[in-house]
Chains A and B, each alone.
Chain A
């Protein structure tokens, strides 16, 4: 059996207390608003991410969920995995539904028809429902600057719910059922769409990237999003063992490797200011991240070299942004 030691990922040094304001497990919300018994695949890091996000959000929320893995696994009639108000309308409109909820709650509070307490409207979608078909609705919602509005993209880097088709969030070189590697193709031919920067370009108070392999960081960022007043955008890398062709017990490992190699850097944009809590000067080589992932197994050394160069260049650009 593959273990963490084999891949040199050191969980202890990665979650040092000095970099996080919330660390001790006993400070975590004990309430599970995303109930056990949902039908996600084994090792689904998206389900894990949803669980952490809900822990950080608390009870006073309403959720508009796009069509996708999370909607399907969590709401088969007559069952539900949601202990908070939750609605699914369609694939491309989670942001619009959530903005309607935000407006409705605002006016009903103003008119005294519901209790006068703050309720956060959450839009949730996968990478397809966010960076492809849902981009217009998301852009509209962010542009309108809704208060108490948070949008979370759970990015598993392809249309996993429909059978691993590529999205604009699929990384360069990954093979999917619609970007297969072949004699004349090395898989996905374009670079991952930079959704967090697109969200930040709307001049909203808070944008962050996160990963469920770093649960305290994820929860802290969700709380910051709540505190920002909104709108806020969280882009959460959510490892998909099925689509990434990895054993289901390695989800956490690959999430960490995505961060440690600099392929998926964790950063925040607070009122337009870029911040990285943990700058990673000595990044692991991208080969370590690709190794063992079936979706990258066809890559040649040259492919990996060019990806490494691109990752380094992007990381340096991001570092410069954080120094401005």
Chain B
């Protein structure tokens, strides 16, 4: 096992992509994912990574080229954010049902307008139904680990679906963190070369992306949905294997100091760090709270969410975007609908925080708790609360 190294998290992702020995990278620059593809282009230029790097003219073409290269059997990677993900959106929806195991890093960033470059989850949540596997990472080490795992998951013949690894833009992408890289031999053992089931090669012609009449379309959607849900077991299995290799085991839903908690925060992505710190502080003050972290967002780990959250009285979901015109943030809306079928129903509160990268310090996290407790006392609460809103 190697030593701990300090590195910018974006570069850790690039190093993971290098170790995954990708064949094709097609990318277009957009803040805050640029450092990832810059470093990858350096690795290709220096001969450290034997890959074709296509400098495409847009994100739409980036994902289109990825579809082409993945279809001919090449291990394929790209990264994007925000408006770039929106431009890709159309092609995301085409890539998944064609079962092309592309890996995409999204350095999550707010959608315009107003134009802003900082972080929230509005970009990925606008694409949450595109049929890709979606993972949210908390820190650099996890980002590195999940990037390598993403290729293994995507290319597993029981899965064959593309994977998005979500990292919070700037908040995670641009910070320097320590990480423990895995040796190349171990990565090679964990991730063999991509062995596609069908490829576009004249020696064995196939037709991909055909059109479907209404008589068949419903069945293709169902097949996609079944494949996506069945990927859950494979994902868990692969994460466990990675754990045996590295000592770092990941699960779809993770708990922190929840043993004796009545109330838990629910987060995704880099919020988890600050919430853990707040949980520690609050516990020192005698408030027994905990944290539930959702790592796997698609397929949504329904059973894990129910079995975890049914144990608590109060669930405080912290969403990083607002689903406009709906009843709050997308994560809370999903959790509420999942818990509708649970035998024990906690009180579910929704807090929208950190839009466009606005800082959410520990005292505001604690404030979330107090807002919820006050509402409980009064016996009624809003569909959602916006944290730190100046009115």
Chain A residues packing against B (C-beta within 8 Å) = 59-62, 64, 71-72, 75-80, 82-90, 92-93, 95-108, 110-111, 113-115, 119, 121, 136-137, 139-141, 143-144
Chain B residues within an 8 Å CB radius of A143: 57
When the two chains form their complex, are residues B210 and A80 in contact, meaning their CB atoms are under 8 A apart? yes
Interface residues of B in 22-59 (CB under 8 A from A): 23-24, 26, 50-52, 54-58
Measured CA separation A193–B67 after assembly (Å): 29
Question: Which of A89, A104, A144 contacts B23, CB < 8 Å?
Answer: A104
Chain B residues within an 8 Å CB radius of A79: 210
Question: Which of A76, A80, A107, A115 contacts B203, CB < 8 Å?
Answer: A115
A102 to nearest B CB, angstroms?
A: 8
Given contacts A82-B205, A88-B210, contact A96 B74 (CB under 8 A): no
Chain B residues within an 8 Å CB radius of A61: 202
Given contacts A62-B201, A86-B207, A89-B91, contact A105 B72 (CB under 8 A): yes
When the two chains form their complex, are residues A87 and B202 in contact, meaning their CB atoms are under 8 A apart? no
Does B200 reach chain A (CB closer than 8 Å)? yes
Chain A residues within an 8 Å CB radius of B61: 93, 95-96, 99, 136-137, 140-141
Given contacts A84-B205, A104-B73, A137-B57, contact A90 B24 (CB under 8 A): no
Q: Tell me which of A79, A102, A139 has the highest count of chain B C-beta atoms within 10 A of its own C-beta.
A: A102
When the two chains form their complex, are residues A62 and B26 in contact, meaning their CB atoms are under 8 A apart? no
Interface SS of chain A: mixed
Does B19 reach chain A (CB closer than 8 Å)? no
When the two chains form their complex, are residues A113 and B208 in contact, meaning their CB atoms are under 8 A apart? no
Chain B residues within an 8 Å CB radius of A89: 64, 67-68, 91, 94-95, 98, 209
Does B65 reach chain A (CB closer than 8 Å)? yes
Chain B residues within an 8 Å CB radius of A77: 210-213, 216, 220
Given contacts A80-B207, A137-B61, A140-B58, contact A98 B68 (CB under 8 A): yes
B54 to nearest A CB, angstroms?
A: 5
User: Interface readout for B61-84 with A: 1 if CB under 8 Å, 0 if not?
Assistant: 110111111111110100000000
Given contacts A76-B210, A100-B65, contact A90 B91 (CB under 8 A): yes
Measured CA separation A75–B206 after assembly (Å): 11
B69 to nearest A CB, angstroms?
A: 3
Does B193 reach chain A (CB closer than 8 Å)? yes
A10 to nearest B CB, angstroms?
A: 40
Given contacts A97-B68, A103-B24, A144-B54, contact A90 B94 (CB under 8 A): yes
Given contacts A61-B202, A104-B52, A104-B76, 11 further A-B contacts (CB under 8 A): A75-B210, A79-B210, A80-B207, A86-B206, A96-B64, A99-B54, A100-B68, A100-B71, A107-B51, A110-B50, A140-B58
Does B90 reach chain A (CB closer than 8 Å)? yes
Measured CA separation A209–B103 after assembly (Å): 39
Does B295 reach chain A (CB closer than 8 Å)? no
Given contacts A78-B216, A104-B70, A144-B54, contact A83 B209 (CB under 8 A): no
The 5 nearest A-B residue pairs measured at CB = A100-B68, A100-B65, A140-B57, A104-B69, A96-B64
Measured CA separation A113–B73 after assembly (Å): 9
Measured CA separation A165–B62 after assembly (Å): 29
Chain B residues packing against A (C-beta within 8 Å) = 23-24, 26, 50-52, 54-58, 60-62, 64-74, 76, 90-91, 94-95, 98, 193, 199-203, 205-213, 216, 220
Chain B residues within an 8 Å CB radius of A96: 56, 60-62, 64-65, 68
Measured CA separation A101–B72 after assembly (Å): 6
Measured CA separation A108–B196 after assembly (Å): 12
Measured CA separation A99–B61 after assembly (Å): 9
Chain B residues within an 8 Å CB radius of A98: 68
Chain B residues within an 8 Å CB radius of A80: 207, 210
Measured CA separation A79–B213 after assembly (Å): 11
Chain B residues within an 8 Å CB radius of A78: 210, 216
A85 to nearest B CB, angstroms?
A: 4
Q: Tell me which of A79, A90, A111 has the highest count of chain B C-beta atoms within 10 A of its own C-beta.
A: A90
Measured CA separation A102–B24 after assembly (Å): 10
When the two chains form their complex, are residues B210 and A137 in contact, meaning their CB atoms are under 8 A apart? no
When the two chains form their complex, are residues B91 and A93 in contact, meaning their CB atoms are under 8 A apart? yes
Given contacts A78-B216, A96-B60, A100-B64, contact A62 B202 (CB under 8 A): yes
Chain A residues within an 8 Å CB radius of B62: 96
Measured CA separation A245–B56 after assembly (Å): 40
Measured CA separation A93–B55 after assembly (Å): 15
Given contacts A105-B72, A107-B23, A140-B56, contact A72 B211 (CB under 8 A): yes
Measured CA separation A108–B201 after assembly (Å): 11
When the two chains form their complex, are residues B64 and A87 in contact, meaning their CB atoms are under 8 A apart? no
A141 to nearest B CB, angstroms?
A: 8
Question: Which of A111, A119, A137 contacts B64, CB < 8 Å?
Answer: A137
When the two chains form their complex, are residues B52 and A103 in contact, meaning their CB atoms are under 8 A apart? yes
Measured CA separation A84–B201 after assembly (Å): 8
13 contacts between A and B (CB under 8 A): A60-B202, A77-B216, A80-B210, A82-B205, A85-B199, A90-B91, A97-B71, A105-B201, A113-B73, A137-B60, A140-B56, A144-B55, A144-B56
Question: Which of A99, A136, A139 contacts B68, CB < 8 Å?
Answer: A99
When the two chains form their complex, are residues A75 and B57 in contact, meaning their CB atoms are under 8 A apart? no
Measured CA separation A82–B208 after assembly (Å): 10
B95 to nearest A CB, angstroms?
A: 8
Measured CA separation A62–B70 after assembly (Å): 13
Chain B residues within an 8 Å CB radius of A141: 61
When the two chains form their complex, are residues A87 and B23 in contact, meaning their CB atoms are under 8 A apart? no
Measured CA separation A103–B75 after assembly (Å): 11
Chain A residues within an 8 Å CB radius of B208: 85-88
Q: Tell me which of A64, A76, A85 has the highest count of chain B C-beta atoms within 10 A of its own C-beta.
A: A85
